[in-house]
Chains A and B, each alone.
Chain A
Amino acid sequence: MNNPVTSIKLVLLGEVAVGKSSIVLRFVSNDFAENKEPTIGAAFLTQRVNINEHTIKFEIWDTAGQERFASLAPMYYRNAQAALVVYDVTKPQSFIKARHWVKELHEQASKDIIIALVGNKIDMLDEDPTERKVAREEGEKLAQEENLLFFETSAKTGANVNEVFLKIGENVPLKQAADGSNNGSGLNVRRDNGWIWQTRLIQPRKPLTVAAESLVVLITKVHISFPERFRTEYGGVAAWAVNLCKTVSWNQP
């Protein structure tokens, strides 16, 4: 339970219909859905994995279908620490697309991103081996040249799917990932009714302390009543109070 937790942003890339969403579904829910419709509103999933006394929390971003007409935004893979570049072993075109994505990631993504090349749908070869259109060696060769992890999987049977994520987990530089995706000074504005101070702010301040401080200052220094609309959110009141004290008590020498 007390394992240190490392979060990694993992993105999926590859031609439409190669099985990206299915691989995620298999990994996260150990499930498979034949001919499933793209799920609206679910393009972000998390899954925890324990590796050597350490918990890796995968934050998995699916494409939300934007890959369909070559409209995936660079924002999608910009901060990724890991990427699955997926192709369909029965579709040579999808392997060409995979090469493209590997190149794009090397150019646009962070330098120490971990990329796994994944040839999916190997279950289809069980029925008919002639279905294979991308040789295993071809995948291995590309992986070798570009320094990628390499797997052949089936989201349908589950073959090798967990292994992909475990291997990525083993290769993640733990410490670096633990500070989050940027250098620790960014304001990461999150949900919850309004704003919160993220712990990785340069000067962490607890809202409660701020509120208390400012009320003291208010009562002792400046006597001002607040417009009603600032009272809804105590953080807002506090901040407004602090600021007012700051801007208003200008008459001190």
Chain B
Amino acid sequence: MDQEKVDTDYDVIVLGTGITECILSGLLSVDGKKVLHIDKQDHYGGESASVTLSQLYSKFKQNPPSKEDREGKFGKDRDWNVDLIPKFLMANGELTNILVHTDVTRYVDFKQVSGSYVFKQGKIYKVPANEVEAISSPLMGIFEKRRMKKFLEWISSYKEDDVPSHQGLDLDQNTMDEVYYKFGLGNSTKEFIGHSMALWTNDDYLQQPARPSYERILLYCQSVARYGKSPYLYPLYGLGELPQGFARLSAIYGGTYMLDTPIDEVVYADDGKFEAVKTKLGTFKAPVVIADPTYFPQKCKSTGQRVIRAICILNHPVPGTSSADSLQIIIPQSQVERKNDIYIAIVSDAHNVCSKGHYLAIISTIIETDKPHVELEPAFKILGPIEEKFMGIAELFEPKEDGFKDNVYLSRSYDASSHFETMTDDVKDIYFRVTGHPLVLKQRKDPEQE
């Protein structure tokens, strides 16, 4: 083949096309770095890919059904884009910010998630997103709503340099529990704020300084404010569109892409620093490598947390949600006598992720017992009849070292949170370590001229 010669020297080599790696690849290419981006798999997305139904079956099931049976029940394979990790975008979150600044919004269309629901005493309730919903919401009594109002006023008016606005509270000295106490909020309101708005998955935050909680509640409110039904957005065709969008950004700025290219060997120099990777397409050199944990398992350690995820196919909307086409359900830990919340993320054919009439629900939680599938029981009950179920357990990994010693910079596994905020923290952290300066987002100067 008369393929033109491939360059062998790069500024950065990126391994794995998960969303973390693709954002970094895009940002570094925009910065003018010469990037080579490789994936051992033949599709984009790594752990954060969206896959077809046939791919899903072969990933999770020993004896997948025949093509005829599968299509008879679920329709064409091409209609399915099933996420492997369940997450939504916070409308006002950092990922949205990065998408807008890099103009990757040009390649991906979004839809608002219809609602966020919370489980309380055996039933699910919509988290109010407007006045009418708030007034009629049975989640809180009338006096409690009044106290809640005072609390939200404090959140909204808090200004760092305006001491009276602090109302005697110090975000870095007072714990969140002390803040709740000051506003006289009861246990069920605390649970509501902490788990449905601040999106903490357990109660550890109560005894910690209030600032992170304050920031999370602010983010939640600002995100609901963007579009009004819920704080979340979701991309048409699934989350897997996001890594593809950032990969295109990188390619437009000169990034080179090689899928289906396993790494045969990683080469280190005498001083232990990264030097090159060997692949079927040749040996490629760079002073720096960025990778997901699966490329350097020996340089990663377990975080001690394991997540169970159950991908469920339904042929009906979730009962009690007014047939919402997309929603999140939070089952707070205390409601089901656990230590960690259970999340359910639901999307449907309205998002081009499954064939007509179907719904995809992904349940996830941090494992607490040796019978993890039993831990998901309360969630299965909420969903009603389930047509097909795919269960998997993921151990969460993080790098052992910061990468300065060997110039191998590793990302973290995607955690159990319901959005991408920890992922973008990881992006910024790696960006800082690799470039030596913090990430400053600038509006992209319309290089794809009009």
Q: How far is the CA of A104 from the CA of B54 in the complex (A)?
A: 16
Closest chain-A Cβ to B78's Cβ sits at a distance in Å of: 6
A-B contact pairs, 17 of them (CB 8 A): A16-B4, A41-B253, A43-B248, A65-B251, A70-B42, A70-B260, A73-B247, A76-B244, A187-B112, A189-B99, A191-B444, A224-B156, A239-B222, A244-B156, A247-B152, A248-B153, A251-B149
Q: CB < 8 Å: which of B145, B252, B257 contacts A40?
A: B252
- Beta-carbon contact of A248 and B111 below 8 Å: no
Report the Cα distance A108→B261, complex, angstroms.
23
Whether A75 touches B107, Cβ cut-off 8 Å, given contacts A189-B100, A242-B225, A243-B221, is yes
Q: Which residues of the partner chain B approach A253 to less than 8 Å between Cβ atoms?
A: 135, 142
Check: B227 CB closer than 8 A to any chain A CB: yes
CB neighbours (8 Å) of B158 from chain A are: 227
Indicate whether A204 reaches chain B with its CB closer than 8 angstroms: no
Contact present for A69 and B258 (CB under 8 Å): yes
Instruction: Give the bracket for the number of chain A residues in contact with chain B.
Output: 35 or more
CB atoms of B152 and A66 under 8 A apart: no
- Give the distance in Å from the alpha carbon of A74 to the alpha carbon of B449 in the complex: 23
* Proximity string of chain B (226-245) to chain A, C-beta cutoff 8 Å, 1 when within and 0 when not: 11100001001100010011
Q: Is the interface of B mostly helix, strand, loop or mixed?
A: mixed
A219-253 vs B, CB cutoff 8 Å, 1 = contact: the mask equals 00000111110100000100110111111111111
A binding-site residues for B, Cβ under 8 Å: 16-17, 40-46, 64-66, 68-71, 73-76, 78, 93, 107-108, 181-182, 185-191, 193-195, 224-228, 230, 236, 239-240, 242-253
B149 pairs with A75, CB closer than 8 A:
no
A4 to chain B, nearest CB (A): 19
CB-based nearest B residue for A189: B105
When A191-B100, A244-B156, A249-B149 are in contact, do A66 and B111 touch as well, CB less than 8 Å? no
CA distance A240 to B156 in the complex (A): 9
B 44-93 contacts with A by CB, 8 A: 44, 78
Cα(A80)–Cα(B57), bound, Å:
28
Residue of A whose beta carbon sits closest to that of B96: A189
In the assembled complex, the Cα of A149 lies from the Cα of B401 at a distance in Å of: 56
With a cutoff of 8 Å between Cβ atoms, the chain A residues found around residue B107 in the complex are 75
Number of A-B contacts (CB under 8 A): 177
CA A47 – CA B434 in complex, angstroms?
Answer: 40
- The CA of A194 and the CA of B441, in the complex, are separated in Å by 12
Q: Is B266 an interface residue (CB 8 A)?
A: no
Asked if B184 CB lies within 8 Å of chain A CBs, one says no
B257 and A186 form a contact (CB under 8 A): no
Q: Contact check, B244 vs A73: say whether CB atoms are below 8 A apart.
A: yes
Known: A187-B110, A191-B100, A239-B225. A66 touches B135 (CB 8 A): no
Q: A78-B237, A226-B156, A250-B149 are in contact. Are A68 and B256 (CB under 8 A)?
A: yes
CA A42 to CA B445, docked complex, whole Å: 12
Q: Which residues of B contact A247 (CB under 8 A)?
A: 128-131, 134, 152, 221, 224
> Is A186 touching B224 in the complex (CB atoms < 8 A)?
no
For A64, the closest partner residue in chain B by CB is: B251
> Per a CB cutoff under 8 Å, which of A66, A185, A250 touches B248?
A66
**Complex interface: chain B residues within 8 A of A242 (CB):** 225, 228
Distance from A38 Cβ to chain B, minimum over Cβ atoms (Å): 8
Given contacts A40-B254, A249-B149, A251-B142, whether A195 and B244 have CB atoms under 8 Å apart is: no
Is B12 positioned at the interface, with any CB of A under 8 Å from its CB? Answer: no
- Kindly identify which residue among A42, A69, A75, A186 contacts B245, using a CB–CB cutoff of 8 Å: A75
Given contacts A189-B99, A247-B130, 16 further A-B contacts (CB under 8 A): A43-B251, A69-B261, A69-B281, A70-B259, A74-B244, A186-B110, A189-B96, A190-B105, A191-B100, A227-B156, A230-B222, A236-B225, A240-B156, A247-B134, A250-B135, A250-B149
